[in-house]
Amino acid sequence: ATLTLNFTTNVTPSPNPPVIELADSSAGETVYKPLVQGASYVNPPNYSLSTSAQNSGVYVVRLKK
């Protein structure tokens, strides 16, 4: 399945463009797992990101590491 997130932010992302990650906290501490990124559209402050979402869970866009 393809997951697409559209959002607006005044924060300058790092990395830019930002990426969607899977947040996994099954072992106690949250670990962010990279995903295969799809198409992205960046026209600050507007962003549209997509990824292949193959697992159930919490998908996040971290704007700063």
pTM of the model: 0.82
Which pLDDT score is estimated for 15?
A: 86
Q: Per DSSP, which regions of 1-65 are E strands?
A: 2-8, 20-24, 31-34, 37-43, 46-52, 58-61
Per-residue pLDDT reduced to its tens digit, 5-62: 999 999 999 988 899 999 999 889 999 999 999 999 999 999 999 999 988 899 999 8
In this predicted structure, what is the pLDDT of residue 62? 86
Q: In this predicted structure, what is the pLDDT of residue 17?
A: 87
pLDDT bracket for residue 65 (50, 70, 90):
confident
Residue spans per domain, the chain: 2-61
